Amino acid sequence: MVSERSLEVLRVIVQDYVASREPVGSKAIVERHSFGVSAATIRNDMAQLEEEELISAPHTSSGRVPTDKGYRLFVDQLADRKPLSPAQREAIETFLGQSVGLDDVLLRTVRLLSQITNQVAIVQYPSFARAQVRHVELVGLTEHRLLTVLITDTGRVEQRVVEIEHPVDAPRLERLKGRLNARLGGTNVDASSAILDAIRTESEQEDELLVARVTHALAEQFDEYRHDKLVMAGAANLARTEDDFTGSIYPVLEALEQQVVLLRLFGEMAVDLNGVSASIGRENASFGLGETSIIASNYRSSAGELARLGVLGPTRMDYSNNLAAVRAVARYLSHQLGDN
């Protein structure tokens, strides 16, 4: 059983090691922190922590570093859930408040989060399977090229260029657009496939090829609403912490390229009572990320769908700051999307 003082010793070992990347010894703890006991007593506490596999000796040095188990205990019980500073909050509101549209706000979110935390920032696009179609627009670009524009109640806009074999006059294009809006308007994305199939089947022979091309393009646009995808920023931060990884950071970079892997990892992380979750070190081994930690939180889209955002970096990260940053940005993003 670990004593209360030993837990405090673990706290300062984590904090000092994160700050310096140097193994922490009993003498340094006595000099830097006010425990009111001797170095010999601190060494006994460290021995207890080592016996519980919460810290370990990386080499013959007298210093110790946290283990994955130690980081887990720190995050679950010892990390200060400190709020962001007023300056940080103002920066979030100012930077994200200037965004226009979903793509822009998510790009700004990952850039901001990577700057605040000095980690790789990841944001999952919300699934808009329940979004409703607001409008379909067909725009003639040239005699053999059209633009299909799909707009939903979430404010998201999807476009596709459609190649056509024969020129289409404006009245004919308007009639097709009217049919599409009459059938699709107000329906949700999930119902789109059956409606597009019906429109294709009911088309007159002279419009058959045109309708097929346009409905195929719209089907691809609807698929974009159903598919999960991620946006990332800050991969260069991994290079700055390359010494925290054994061998090379390339396996981590390769894992980051596999969006399916990251989406599955996000999906398995359950948020705690504070609205955040952490997956540390070997907990991520099956995803090829066994030397990293991920801090994540949920945010809510304008359509009410939940999605994830978070940061990824080495296990030697500033958990207190990152937990606070991820939670604050997720809350502000929900507020921002809700207002839009």
Specify the CATH number for the domain of residue 216: 3.30.390.60
Question: Same structural domain for residues 116 and 249?
Answer: yes
Question: Same structural domain for residues 193 and 329?
Answer: no
In the chain, the largest separation of any two C-alpha atoms, in whole Å, equals 92
Question: Same structural domain for residues 74 and 219?
Answer: no
Domain final residue pick, 39, 55, 78: 78
The CATH number of whichever domain residue 65 belongs to comes to 1.10.10.10
Domain final residue pick, 209, 226, 243: 226
- Hey, which of 40-44, 157-161, 244-248 has the most confident mean pLDDT? 40-44
Q: What is the pLDDT of residue 60?
A: 65
Q: Are 244 and 291 in contact (CB under 8 A)?
A: yes
Q: What is the layout of strands, in order, in the sheet containing 306-314? A: 230-233, 120-124, 306-314, 292-300, 276-280
Q: Which amino acid is at 99?
A: S
More confident residue, 303 or 189: 189
Question: Same structural domain for residues 122 and 247?
Answer: yes
Question: Same structural domain for residues 8 and 65?
Answer: yes
Q: What is the pLDDT of residue 61?
A: 67
Q: Mean pLDDT over residues 187-194, rounded?
A: 87
Q: Is the entire prediction scored with pTM above 0.85?
A: no
The CATH number of whichever domain residue 317 belongs to comes to 3.30.450.40
Q: What is the pLDDT of residue 70?
A: 97
Cα-Cα-Cα-Cα dihedral sign, residues 61, 62, 63, 64: positive
Q: Over the stretch 4-46, which tens digit does the pLDDT of each residue have?
A: 999 999 999 999 999 999 999 999 999 999 888 999 999 999 9
Mean pLDDT, the chain, rounded, equals 89
Question: Same structural domain for residues 212 and 112?
Answer: no
Provide the residue range defining the domain that includes 29: 4-78
Question: Same structural domain for residues 232 and 331?
Answer: yes
Helix, coil or strand: residue 228: coil
Q: Are 310 and 319 in contact (CB under 8 A)?
A: no
Residue 1: HSE in the Cβ half-sphere, 13 Å Cα cutoff: 2
Q: How many domains does the chain have?
A: 3
**pLDDT higher than threshold 80 for residue 225:** no
Q: Mean pLDDT over residues 133-140, rounded?
A: 93
Q: Mean pLDDT over residues 91-117, rounded?
A: 87
Question: Same structural domain for residues 208 and 281?
Answer: no
Question: Same structural domain for residues 112 and 162?
Answer: no
What helix, strand, coil percent values describe the chain, rounded to 5? 55, 20, 25
Q: Mean pLDDT over residues 326-333, rounded?
A: 92
Tell which residue, 98, 184, 74, has the closest CA to residue 138.
Answer: 184
The pLDDT > 90 percentage for the chain reads 56
Q: Are 317 and 140 in contact (CB under 8 A)?
A: no
